C-alpha cells in the first residue's frame, strides 16, 4: 500500500534533528506494523498535490499549528481536495488538524474549544467497535497537543471514541475516512520537547501536568493497527 502524506506543517527546527518531520514520524509508526508500506509526501501547505488522485492508495492529513478557520491561502484548496477525496471514496486518515479539516470541509465545524489546551497523555472511551478495529479495547490513551476541536459533525459520521474533554475524539466519515484528534505518531520525548518549547503558550502549570501525564501508558501501536486495518477495509 502506498500512502500519500498531505503535510500541513513543519516540525519546529529545534526538534527536527532528533525526531524528524511529521511524515517520518508516521512512517516510523506504521511501518512497525507493516514494513511493506510506501509513503509519498505532498507539501500541501505550499500548494503541492498529486497530479493524479489515484497515484497513491490512501491519504493521511497531518497535524498543524494552523487552524482550519485561519486566513491562509492553502486552506481552501485543501478543503476542496478533502471534498474530492470524499466524492471519490479514497481511503483517508486525518490526524489532529487533519481530523478537524475533514470535518470542517464536509459540513461539520472545528474551532477553539471552551475546554482550552490539551497536552500530554489523554484517554478516550471507545463508543463503537467496527469490524476494522482489530483487537478492540474499551479505552485507549494517546499523546495530544491541541486547542481546537471538532464541535459539529458532518453528515454520515459515527463517533468511534470520545472523552469528557474531547467528545468527538475519533470519527468515521462514511466508509473510507477515519479521523482522530490525538497524535499516535508522537513519542513521549517529542511531546515533552514540544511542551517545553511552547511553555509560554501553554503556561507552566499545564506543562508540568502534561509532563507528569507522560508516566501513563499510551496505545499508539494498537491505534496504528486500527489505522491500517481501516485503510485496507476501505480500499
Positions annotated as catalytic residues are: 96, 183, 185
Q: Which residues in 63-206 belong to E strands, given as ranges?
A: 92-95, 109-112, 118-126, 139-146, 148-152, 157-162, 170-173, 177-180
Q: Tell me the sheet residues that pair with 93.
A: 60, 178
Closest CA to 227 of 161, 165, 168: 161
Residue pair 79/24 in contact by the 8 Å Cβ criterion: no
d(CA 203, CA 234): 41
Q: How far is CA 124 from the centre of its chain?
A: 15
Q: In DSSP terms, which residues pair with 125 in a beta bridge?
A: 139, 162
Residue for cell digits 488538524?
97
Q: Which helix (H) or strand (E) holds 35?
A: none
Place of cell 496504528: 224
Q: How many CB atoms lie within 10 A of CB 98?
A: 27
Amino acid at each position: 500500500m502506498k500512502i500519500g502524506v498531505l503535510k500541513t506543517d513543519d516540525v519546529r527546527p529545534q526538534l527536527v534533528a532528533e525526531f524528524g518531520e511529521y511524515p517520518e514520524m508516521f512512517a516510523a509508526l506504521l511501518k512497525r506494523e507493516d514494513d511493506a508500506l510506501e509513503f509519498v509526501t505532498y507539501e500541501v501547505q505550499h500548494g503541492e498535490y498529486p497530479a493524479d488522485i489515484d497515484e497513491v492508495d490512501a491519504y493521511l492529513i497531518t497535524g498543524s499549528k494552523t487552524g482550519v478557520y485561519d486566513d491562509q491561502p492553502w486552506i481552501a484548496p485543501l478543503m476542496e481536495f478533502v471534498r474530492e477525496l470524499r466524492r471519490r471514496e479514497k481511503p483517508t486518515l486525518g490526524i489532529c488538524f487533519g481530523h478537524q479539516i475533514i470535518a470542517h470541509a464536509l459540513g461539520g465545524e472545528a474551532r477553539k474549544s471552551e475546554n482550552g489546551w490539551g497536552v500530554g497523555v489523554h484517554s478516550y472511551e471507545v463508543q463503537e467497535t467496527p469490524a476494522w478495529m482489530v483487537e478492540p479495547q474499551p479505552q485507549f490513551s494517546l499523546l495530544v497537543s491541541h486547542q481546537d476541536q471538532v464541535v459539529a459533525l458532518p453528515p454520515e459520521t459515527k463517533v468511534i471514541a470520545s472523552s469528557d474533554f474531547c467528545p468527538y475524539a475519533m470519527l468515521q466519515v462514511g466508509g473510507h475516512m477515519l479521523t482522530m484528534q490525538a497524535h499516535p505518531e508522537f513519542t513521549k520525548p517529542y511531546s515533552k520537547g514540544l511542551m517545553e518549547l511552547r511553555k509560554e503558550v501553554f503556561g507552566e502549570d499545564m506543562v508540568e501536568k502534561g509532563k507528569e501525564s507522560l508516566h501513563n501508558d499510551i496505545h499508539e501501536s494498537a491505534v496504528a493497527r486500527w489505522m491500517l486495518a481501516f485503510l485496507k477495509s476501505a480500499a
